[in-house]
Structure 1
């Protein structure tokens, strides 16, 4: 009898161990169960950046809702958690620590803001957690051969060094410039754009770069413009964002530097057109990079689902659209994983082949490329249209821009 009882107990113990092993097997990585995967981020949804953070978060929520109501990805729904960091780096660090150690998320999706990313990027890398999409163009994310801890960062939004490279390609490949004048601001955005412009000019050859620095938000940029005028440049690049762009464009017109002028996608905004149109008039054309095309068919899904998560009209909100894009890139990587879902298999999937942006262009993460958007369109300022800008050339890579040169 005792022998029989021992056999029964032994059998029950084996069964229990098998069940435990099965339960353990489905939790193949932090934040992953057999029917869910948890992702998170910190976003400023209060404070001065709330008008950006709130719609940005809504765009992500809308995409995840669409995916979950469609059955999830490979049998798993996406659980999204968020913490408001108020755009404060110290609170951002605390939020990242909570996401990693308390929430135990599988991945960061849509990490938000230059100061927060700057304060927390190393924490994310040291934890080894994949981070897909960063709402910043900081050059900290640019890497042509990411290895080791650096591998975990997957920028999607344009990063300034890469955008600068594309600007140089437009100058030579589209505008046939041999000497380009660059007015850049002495901040991260301006210096990173200039770095990319010079890098690509050297790589291509045949393009001389004359650069002049101005302070961010400078009222007087006349000396920098005079230098480019005296150098008789073929084209001007304004490597400065919204606080300084209007002053430079107006001064170019004032001094009669009527050359084709190109600026960053950040300035492709109706407010910038309104600020300079009376001064620039028909004297010279202003162009800007673009990485989102709202005429793409994906806009229909976006508008349907974003209307389900927000009472505010976000149908044409650029920040909400970028949140949607962030979620899209994460999910596309998830769909490609065949077998166990781990950080390693997920990163392998992201890098397996280029991923299309639903609103234009594609991104290739293979071989350690962490360049952000690698294909951009070209817009032309036009005050007579509602947006202030109109399409000029569709999405092209650097090689496509230079084809035939």
Structure 2
């Protein structure tokens, strides 16, 4: 048992499945502006001066970088308090702009209607064909010229129709010649897989072939958590049923099985949607149908949405772009270099990047490029694509790094290519530190027979260590281990991929529990998930509020120890976000 516990030090991270030329450097332009927080003051009396306290605006650039703007950076236009009304001011920077709506009142005008405002949307915003409008939960305020506001029910609804399918159609609240729009959708399906006694969910995962070593324990983690819930009586009287298919890590199979889960098995949600090929092939389908997808076992950048309220795609583990940024920030800012491992990488040192030319590798590389630019080190990075199958080209790329005298190497790939890459780095005599993705922070990602000549570091978004806990592990870990054993999977109680599946199931269940006794639909479930950040078992938090679809954005740093009976990854830095790492 103690040997198993020793191996558990590797299990900080769940996983993602997943000819070189110098980049052309072009001057970055502003792609968009994003308002992180609005000004606190949005209501004025006639004659008052502008007050933008509290306003935070971020500029997003074409090279993937961003900048938090100050009042000196942007231009403000359109502010006018000479007369009452609903007005719009404009914030402009770099040829892009955003608008802020504000109100101007005039106490001398009396109680004359100025506008209508919806302060709470109706609970039901997604309808089946033929359903009537339901204003439950809707709150409409009548706002008058003198600043008086009152809730009104004396309105009518126009332009609402459920005779055909539509997404984000516009209807209006109308009263006394004034109107205010709101959005609604009409879908062929708004809920399925729910009975009085069961909720059916499913996934398609690789449970045969090379990635079976990932998919089998991953599904076991899901099943173990569901068994725990079912043994405790289910949720609001409903037990959880799990349907899964083996897609062999193939995109076509994954797409077909996903359609089968939705159209034939009628699952309520996709839980633990598995692998870069399948997830990449089905994101569009999931959004079109509207079925909730909770936890994607990959981090491809197509899962990232800055602000997308109601989006059924709810990834959990870090997006690869974030992963790439954090591993780059670690390489550039952590004191891990030198004879005593207490120095930072030199300011002019070169960094070699080996990346696979697939969704996983390119997504991680995108984050590396952004962070290199952010830290003013773009010209210090040397990029080489590689394939595990082409050993000659891989060795050639590594020798190029040796010739260039790189001070560190970043490997942007998933598990199988990573093992080949570090093998080539070792056999060609490289001795500089190597940094990689959280997807590779597992004992199976390295060769236990090789005594690597360099330090190896990996990101990690799960932390199960607690010095005060039993055998040095957290109570949350022991709960997981107990649940795995009780479910008949004791061999996976020390498996990182089982932890990932367990977390996928736990986060799905959190949404069901939040819905509580309300009617369970896809819409009510997604709203519940967006209600507040969610605590991740053995990890930090994931935040879907206000339409965030960012995945987890804080990670720890692990270091490989391959000197014992089995490879292990030990924590050397706590979970931190990129701003903390950059500030070191």
| Interval of TM-score (by shorter of Structure 1 and Structure 2) | 0.7 to 0.9
Number of the residue aligned with 2:222: 60
Q: Is the 8 A contact 1:246 1:275 kept in 2?
A: no
Number of the residue aligned with 1:347: 526
Matched, 1:400 2:584: no
- Structure 2 residue runs of 5 or longer lacking an equivalent are 1-188, 336-343, 465-472
Q: CA RMSD in A?
A: 2.9
Number of the residue aligned with 2:456: 286
Structure 1 residues 372-381 or 196-205, which shifts more? Answer: 196-205
Matched, 1:107 2:269: yes
Q: Is the 8 A contact 1:249 1:276 kept in 2?
A: no
Q: Is the 8 A contact 1:187 1:216 kept in 2?
A: no
Give 1:128 shift. 0.4
Matched, 1:163 2:323: yes
Give 1:258 shift. 3.7
Name the SS for the 1:83 alignment partner: strand
Superposed CA deviations along residues 363-400 of structure 1, whole A, max 9, x for unmatched, are 22234332333222111122234433211112112223
Number of the residue aligned with 1:366: 545
Structure 1 residues 138-147 or 186-195, which shifts more? Answer: 138-147
Name the SS for the 1:370 alignment partner: coil
Matched, 1:192 2:363: yes
- Aligned runs of 1:23-34 on 2, under 5 Å? 29-34=191-196
Number of the residue aligned with 2:567: 387
1:119 alignment partner, one of 281, 294, 301: 281
* CA pair 90-293 structure 1, distance change in 2 beyond 3 A: same
Give 1:289 shift. 1.3
Distance 1:316 1:236 in 2: 29
- Structure 1 residue runs of 5 or longer lacking an equivalent are 1-26
Distance 2:503 2:415 in 1: 23
Structure 1 residues 133-142 or 162-171, which shifts more? Answer: 133-142
Number of the residue aligned with 1:323: 501
Number of the residue aligned with 2:437: 264
Distance 2:275 2:524 in 1: 28
Distance 1:144 1:374 in 2: 13
Number of the residue aligned with 2:391: 219
Give 1:59 shift. 1.3
1:309 alignment partner, one of 487, 502, 518: 487
* CA pair 276-378 structure 1, distance change in 2 beyond 3 A: farther
Superposed CA deviations along residues 31-58 of structure 1, whole A, max 9, x for unmatched, are 2344433222223444554443332222
Structure 1 residues 189-198 or 38-47, which shifts more? Answer: 38-47
TM-score by length of 1: 0.81
Name the SS for the 1:158 alignment partner: coil
Q: Is the 8 A contact 1:180 1:208 kept in 2?
A: no
- The alignment of Structure 1 onto Structure 2 pairs a total of residues equal to 373
Q: Is the 8 A contact 1:198 1:209 kept in 2?
A: no
Structure 1 residues 238-247 or 124-133, which shifts more? Answer: 238-247
* CA pair 346-211 structure 1, distance change in 2 beyond 3 A: farther
Distance 1:245 1:93 in 2: 26
Q: Is the 8 A contact 2:320 2:360 kept in 1?
A: yes
Q: Is the 8 A contact 2:369 2:378 kept in 1?
A: no
Distance 1:97 1:245 in 2: 32
Q: Which has the larger radius of gyration?
A: 2
Superposed CA deviations along residues 158-183 of structure 1, whole A, max 9, x for unmatched, are 33222101112212332444453322
Give 1:62 shift. 1.0
Q: Is the 8 A contact 1:40 1:108 kept in 2?
A: yes
Distance 2:403 2:511 in 1: 51
